[in-house]
A and B are shown apart, each in its own frame.
Chain A
Amino acid sequence: EVQLVESGGGSVKPGRSLRLSCAASGFTFDDYAMHWVRQAPGKGLQWVSGVSWDSVGIYYADSVKGRFTISRDNAKNSLYLQMNSLRAEDTALYYCIKGGNSGLKSHFAYWGQGTLVTVSS
């Protein structure tokens, strides 16, 4: 059974940093691209970033480019999101996602339960 467990969320002040982690199990982690998608309270879904199985391909939404860094450790079956210079508009539930079997442009096959990030002064 695929399991994705996010951690690292919390409440921070604007301009500060936070690092999210996602522990994956139940599948061969280094066979799949992984993504982060967020959902602001009461709002829709927004793709944040994706990384290919071998970390060669990395993409970001324009809204986080230059501030967020996605990474993965295949030896630890883990996905990370380093978030710097946080803004109020980054407040959201952040989901860790296992991609489909067609690389970074594939569907989002499995979703974690999310970790909440709140940015407020």
Chain B
Amino acid sequence: QSVLTQPPSVSGAPGQRVTISCTGSSSNIGAGYNVHWYQQLPGTAPKLLIYVNNNRPSGVPDRFSGSKSGTSASLAITGLQAEDEADYYCQSYDRGLSGSVFGGGTKLTVL
């Protein structure tokens, strides 16, 4: 059971918009800690996708965006492309655990 809760899977057709939720608690996201998102393409190491809630590292397309509100956060992907098919993970810090925590991951399928 992950500390942060994500849907196991989402899907969408090319060109569509999908969102992935990340639900935490008052010990992590709700305590004001930032949320970060990672993309893991099949057979590769995870890559930073969004940091500090809504910031994109250099090279990440603006089709990817993040938001945070209360005890939850969301990753939105617009203009879905086949190459977006991957696993996505949210991450934050938990003050009760005194460490970083991840969501269980969401598998995105592009139909």
Q: Chain A residues in contact with chain B, CB under 8 A?
A: 35, 44-47, 50, 59-62, 95, 100, 105, 107-114
Q: Which of A46, A50, A62 touches B102 (beta carbons < 8 Å)?
A: A46
Given known contacts A105-B93, A107-B91, A61 and B99 CB-to-CB distance under 8 angstroms:
yes
Q: List 19 A-B contacts (CB under 8 A).
A: A35-B100, A44-B89, A44-B104, A45-B91, A45-B105, A47-B101, A47-B102, A60-B99, A62-B97, A100-B51, A105-B33, A105-B34, A105-B93, A107-B36, A107-B51, A108-B36, A108-B46, A109-B57, A111-B46
Closest to B2 in A: A44
In the assembled complex, which residues on chain B have CB atoms less than 8 Å from the CB atom of A44? 2, 87, 89, 102-105
In the assembled complex, which residues on chain A have CB atoms less than 8 Å from the CB atom of B2? 44
In the assembled complex, which residues on chain A have CB atoms less than 8 Å from the CB atom of B104? 44
Q: In the docked arrangement, what's the CA distance between A35 and B102, Å?
A: 14
Q: In the docked arrangement, what's the CA distance between A109 and B55, Å?
A: 12
Identify the 9 closest CB pairs spanning chains A and B, nearest first. Answer: A107-B36, A47-B100, A107-B51, A44-B105, A105-B93, A111-B45, A45-B102, A59-B99, A44-B104
Q: How many contacts A-B (CB < 8 Å)?
A: 58
- Write the B47-70 contact mask toward A (1 if CB under 8 angstroms, else 0): 110011000010000000000000
Nearest CB of B to A99, in Å: 10
In the assembled complex, which residues on chain B have CB atoms less than 8 Å from the CB atom of A113? 45
Verify B46–A107 contact, CB threshold 8 A.
Answer: no
Q: A44-B87, A108-B38 are in contact. List 14 more A-B contacts (CB 8 A).
A: A44-B2, A44-B103, A47-B102, A50-B99, A59-B98, A60-B99, A95-B45, A105-B100, A107-B36, A107-B52, A109-B51, A111-B45, A111-B48, A114-B45
Q: Chain B residues in contact with chain A, CB under 8 A?
A: 2, 33-34, 36, 38, 45-48, 51-52, 57, 87, 89, 91, 93, 97-105
In the assembled complex, which residues on chain B have CB atoms less than 8 Å from the CB atom of A35? 100
In the assembled complex, which residues on chain A have CB atoms less than 8 Å from the CB atom of B97? 61-62
In the assembled complex, which residues on chain B have CB atoms less than 8 Å from the CB atom of A108? 36, 38, 46, 48, 91, 100
Verify A45–B99 contact, CB threshold 8 A.
Answer: no
Nearest CB of A to B21, in Å: 16
Q: In the docked arrangement, what's the CA distance between A9 and B2, Å?
A: 26
